[in-house]
């Protein structure tokens, strides 16, 4: 047991009926940045991601591929693990719903809900989307160009009639509305909370939670021929990972309830309505927040396989390098909003804030120190007001960044950090240390020392989004202590610290040919 505060952040678990794309990378990157930030801030973090491997969609995809469902899941799940490695995600666990520990956990949860009287048998007839793995009421459907009925997501639906077990979701309407009213940050951003509240106020129908028309799922305990509906199965993974059903397990006691479930806006209902209702029914603590982010378009177009404009994160990394990709995805768009990915925007943003920003600042400063100060951090003289202001503003930035991170406002957190790099750039332009070499070498030493410590602190704060690049930069300064407890006046960089000849951290990118022209 640790005396550090705990923090539990989860991605949704990803369907293995397709290969990973930019949306998967985006959601997991947000969680990775948050997890890394909290670790640097002294928290005991659990960061979970994984794959959702049951359901009719998986069964059909495996059949189409000519393999059994487990072999299909193994193959595609490995691709998600490869994405996690390629993106340098720091997840503590990678869970799969085909694991025995998960089957045990979700079957226990089912039994608890059944014993408490929240599950009953009936028959289901209604509209079902295999692509979404979701049931929809008639009033939610739209009509396609060919007259076919479509889910709100645009997915095709089919009429299903089969025996099913139901969860008494209707019993939780008032409790859910009370939750949204008393804990207004349970769903974020606020626009999504309003959306969820409106859905619940419209009336809740009991939820079909088992299927009997296919076999690929967790068997319903005590009811042969039924497998669990994918959402009760999938959602329970967040409990499985921390040791449920053993509520005395160290991990469960340390990390549950989760601090943040990060999800795409298309699966908000399942996490903000069904999931808390299941937990209320089982008398289990509720997660503290569900955050629903937006979607990316590609050069202004909706991303789809039919258009051939799916953004491949592996290709982006190969083209631009990992940390610029990580930086752009979290910096470009207010988290929670939809965003457009354009190569021109990518190049301009990375050149402006990385290559011309912190990259140029650190290269200039460390080169001057290496050349003019015998390859070591100089000893400063007395600090003047401009020196003190730069350093105190950077120190104060940590609290600003903390506040943004706790609201999942990742782009504003990065904006605050990189504003300090701009401030340091303005400082170096005003102080002109290259002129001070002849006129006032002692003052030059002070200016370069202040700049070195400014860069050290900025790099420490930026580690969460660009861990490899900031490791390279901090290593060039021989900085070994890199937690947030090193920010501020009590932990300045040590004069006399030897530094090697610096190497550039961020390359400049060329605009795509059509934009350059």
Q: Please, what are the domains in the chain? A: 6-294 (3.40.50.620), 343-491 (1.10.730.10)
CA-wise closest residue to 19 among 313, 328, 235: 313
Is the pLDDT at 97 greater than 90? The verdict is yes
Give mean pLDDT, residues 91-104: 97
88 has a pLDDT exceeding 60 = yes
Strands (E), 114-209: 119-129, 134-136, 142-143, 149-150, 158-167, 187-188, 207-208
Sheet holding 158-167, edge to edge: 134-136, 119-129, 158-167, 207-208
339-341 vs 134-136, strand pairing mode: unpaired
Average pLDDT, the chain: 93
Asked, as a colleague might, if the bond just before 329 is cis with ω within 30 of 0, I would say no
pLDDT value at 466 more than 90 = yes
Position 15 confidence tier, pLDDT thresholds 50, 70, 90: confident
Pick from 145-159, 163-177, 478-492: least confident? 145-159
| Residues 110-133: tens digit of each pLDDT | 999 999 999 999 988 888 888 887
pLDDT band at 193 (very low <50, low <70, confident <90, very high): very high
Average the pLDDT over 486-513 and give the result: 93
Alpha-helix runs per DSSP H in 373-464 = 385-406, 410-431, 433-439, 441-462
Helix (H, G, I), strand (E, B) or coil at 493: coil
Given a cut of 90, is residue 105 above it in pLDDT? yes
Q: Is a pLDDT exceeding 90 seen at residue 68?
A: yes
Give every CB contact of residue 16 below 8 A, 6+ residues apart in sequence. Answer: 51, 52, 53, 58, 72, 73, 76, 77, 80
């Amino acid at each position: 047991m640790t005396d550090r505060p705990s923090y539990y952040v989860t991605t949704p678990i990803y369907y293995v009926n397709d290969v990973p794309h930019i949306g998967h990378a985006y959601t997991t990157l947000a969680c990775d940045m948050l997890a890394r930030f909290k670790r640097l801030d002294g928290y005991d973090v659990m960061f979970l991601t994984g794959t959702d491997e049951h359901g009719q969609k998986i069964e059909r995809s495996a059949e189409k591929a000519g393999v059994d469902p487990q072999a299909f899941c193994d193959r595609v799940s490995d691709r998600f693990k490869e994405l996690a490695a390629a993106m340098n995600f720091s997840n503590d666990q990678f869970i799969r719903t085909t694991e025995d520990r998960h089957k045990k956990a979700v079957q226990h949860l089912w039994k608890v809900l059944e014993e408490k009287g929240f599950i009953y048998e009936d028959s289901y007839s209604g509209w079902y989307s295999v692509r979404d793995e979701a049931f929809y009421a008639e009033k939610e459907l739209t009509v396609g160009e060919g007259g076919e009925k479509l889910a709100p997501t645009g997915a095709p639906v089919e009429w299903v009639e089969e025996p099913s077990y139901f969860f008494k979701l209707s019993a939780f309407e008032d409790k859910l509305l009370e939750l949204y009213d008393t804990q207004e940050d349970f769903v974020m951003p606020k626009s999504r909370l309003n959306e969820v509240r409106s859905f619940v106020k419209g009336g809740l129908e009991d939820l079909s939670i088992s299927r009997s028309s296919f076999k690929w799922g967790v068997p319903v305990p005590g009811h042969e021929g039924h497998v669990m509906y994918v959402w009760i199965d999938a959602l329970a993974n967040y409990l499985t990972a921390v040791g449920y059903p053993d509520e005395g397990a160290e991990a469960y006691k340390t990390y549950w309830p989760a601090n943040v479930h990060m999800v795409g806006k298309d699966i908000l209902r399942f996490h903000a309505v069904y999931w808390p209702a299941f937990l209320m029914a089982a008398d289990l603590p509720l997660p503290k927040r569900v955050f629903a982010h937006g979607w990316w378009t590609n050069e202004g177009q909706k991303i789809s396989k039919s258009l051939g404009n799916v953004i491949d994160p592996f290709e982006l990394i190969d083209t631009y390098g990992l940390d610029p990709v990580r930086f752009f995805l979290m910096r470009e768009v207010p988290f929670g909003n939809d965003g457009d990915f354009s190569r021109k925007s990518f190049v301009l943003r990375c050149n402006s804030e990385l290559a011309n920003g912190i990259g140029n600042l650190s290269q200039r400063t460390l080169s001057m120190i290496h050349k003019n100060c015998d390859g070591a951090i100089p000893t400063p003289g007395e600090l003047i007001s401009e020196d003190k202001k730069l350093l105190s503003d950077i120190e104060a930035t940590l609290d600003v960044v903390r506040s943004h991170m706790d609201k999942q406002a990742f782009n504003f957190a990065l904006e605050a950090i990189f504003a300090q790099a701009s401030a340091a750039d303005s400082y170096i332009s005003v102080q002109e240390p290259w002129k001070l070499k002849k006129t006032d070498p002692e003052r030059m030493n002070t200016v370069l020392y202040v700049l070195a410590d400014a860069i050290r602190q900025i790099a420490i704060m930026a580690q969460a989004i660009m861990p490899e690049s900031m490791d390279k930069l901090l290593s060039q300064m021989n900085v070994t202590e890199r937690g947030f407890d090193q920010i501020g006046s009590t932990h300045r960089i040590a004069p006399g610290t030897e530094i090697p000849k610096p190497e550039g951290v961020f390359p400049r990118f060329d605009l795509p040919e059509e934009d350059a022209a």
